[in-house]
């Protein structure tokens, strides 16, 4: 296992430590130190598999994060002279660091070069620190930047994933689309963002674990998916939950966001988010249908021989968080 490696455990600890330092720091300089510790801890995790693809991904990630950190520090120093322009530059540097549109250009190619577990870290843990810093500098000026970034992220995430056949790129555009919802949550209330992020992390983890179990990276590889009904149902529910289909777990934060934005009369913004969420649900449905309809007899026979009780129980445990809202509804 990747995460059971002693060096990986050390770098995961320092990565989380950097995030905690950034969130709890009283000054921009300490925040910058936390971001750098976080970045320098993630780069060795990217290069865990020593090959040219991982090296290129690590170099690209380092250059992007270095550009973002340099812009952040320069803008923080400029705040001694004025307030409006440096705040806009800080917002743009944080949007670049978290991979939100229109500064998303680096996220899909880097995720395409990473294994599934590192993709999960990039989609979840690496978003916490820049989004927390973004919430600290909210003002009338930065709120407009946040709104525009949310709308553009929704459009890019929804449209960009339609013509993709590589699953990691699809998850990257899905992450950009979910980033639009999280930026909208930051615009309104921090507790909404926290709830959305926690549920998004749970659902994304279930999808990534299922893909990582059989090392599936391309839509064509769904031909080799195990002919096990539990596996197929778990994949279907995880993807639909990620798309926000009721009554699964991923629907709850989107329902909360829809209610809150409708009460605040942010109708056009809400319509953009909902329409692009339907586009993401389309390519989740495409993956689900292919996983159900495509099977390879020889492979499925071999899989039935290798399927043990442990993997079946693991799939059931993986489905419990996705099914949790349905369990609550049944009681009523």
Structural domain including 115 reads 6-331
* Residue 197 lies inside a defined structural domain of this protein: yes
**Could you tell me the two tokens for 206?**
């279930």
**Which runs of E-coded beta strand occur in the chain?**
none
| Contact assessment for residue 117 and residue 3, using Cβ atoms and an 8 Å cutoff | yes
* Residue 140 lies inside a defined structural domain of this protein: yes
* Residue 135 lies inside a defined structural domain of this protein: yes
Q: Which residue has the tokens 């899989």?
A: 303
> Which residues, 6 or more positions from 181, have their beta carbon under 8 angstroms from its beta carbon?
150, 154, 196, 253, 254, 257, 273, 277
Could you tell me what percentage of the chain is helix, strand and coil, using 3-state DSSP and rounding each to the nearest 5? 80, 0, 20
Which DSSP category does 165 fall into? -
Q: Judge if the upstream peptide bond of residue 247 is cis by omega within 30 degrees of 0.
A: yes
Compute how many other C-beta atoms are within 10 angstroms of the C-beta atom of residue 9: 10
Q: What is the pLDDT of residues 201-246, one digit of tens each?
A: 988 988 888 888 878 888 877 766 665 667 777 778 888 888 888 8
Partners of residue 218 on adjacent β-strands: 166
Sign of CA dihedral 61, 166, 207, 296: negative
Query: How many domains, in total, are found in the chain?
Result: 1
Q: What is the pLDDT of residues 271-298, one digit of tens each?
A: 999 999 999 988 888 887 777 766 555 4
Residue ranges, the chain, pLDDT below 70: 1-3, 82-84, 223-229, 293-332
Q: Judge if the upstream peptide bond of residue 102 is cis by omega within 30 degrees of 0.
A: yes
Compute how many other C-beta atoms are within 10 angstroms of the C-beta atom of residue 140: 8
pLDDT of residue 306: 46
* Residue 1 lies inside a defined structural domain of this protein: no
Apex 283 CA angle, 177 and 216, nearest 5: 100
* Residue 112 lies inside a defined structural domain of this protein: yes
* Residue 282 lies inside a defined structural domain of this protein: yes
pLDDT of residue 2: 62
Share of the chain above pLDDT 70, in %: 83
The candidate with the shortest Cα–Cα distance to 213, out of 299, 111, 285, 115, is 115
pLDDT of residue 164: 85
Distance (Å, whole) CA 119 – CA 110: 9
């Amino acid at each position: 296992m990747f995460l059971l490696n002693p060096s990986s455990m050390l770098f995961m600890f320092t990565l989380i430590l950097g995030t905690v330092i950034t969130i709890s720091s009283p000054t921009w300089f300490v925040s910058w130190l936390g971001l750098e510790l976080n970045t320098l801890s993630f780069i060795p995790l990217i290069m865990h598999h020593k090959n040219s693809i991982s090296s290129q991904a690590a170099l690209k990630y380092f250059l992007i994060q270095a550009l973002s950190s340099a812009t952040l520090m320069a803008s923080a120093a400029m705040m001694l002279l004025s307030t409006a322009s440096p705040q806009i530059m800080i917002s743009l540097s944080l949007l670049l660091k978290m991979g939100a549109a229109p500064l998303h250009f680096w996220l899909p190619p880097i995720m395409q070069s990473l294994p599934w577990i590192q993709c999960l870290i990039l989609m979840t843990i690496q978003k916490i620190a820049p989004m927390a810093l973004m919430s600290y500098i909210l003002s009338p000026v930065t709120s407009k930047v946040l709104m525009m970034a949310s709308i553009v992220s929704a459009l890019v995430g929804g449209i960009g994933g339609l013509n993709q056949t590589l699953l990691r790129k699809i998850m990257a555009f899905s992450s950009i689309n979910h980033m639009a919802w999280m930026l909208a949550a930051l615009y309104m209330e921090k507790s909404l963002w926290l709830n959305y992020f926690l549920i998004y992390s749970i659902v994304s983890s279930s999808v990534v674990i299922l893909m990582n179990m059989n090392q599936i990276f391309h839509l064509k590889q769904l031909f080799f998916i195990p002919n096990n009904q539990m596996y197929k149902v778990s994949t279907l529910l995880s993807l639909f939950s990620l798309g926000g289909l009721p009554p699964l777990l991923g629907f709850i934060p989107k329902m909360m966001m829809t209610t809150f934005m409708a009460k605040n009369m942010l109708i056009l913004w809400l319509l953009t988010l909902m329409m692009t969420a339907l586009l993401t649900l389309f390519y989740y449905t495409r993956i689900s249908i292919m996983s159900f309809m495509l099977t390879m007899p020889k492979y499925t026979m071999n899989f039935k021989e290798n399927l043990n009780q442990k993997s079946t129980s693991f799939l059931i445990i993986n489905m419990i968080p996705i099914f949790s809202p349905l369990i609550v509804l049944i009681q009523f």
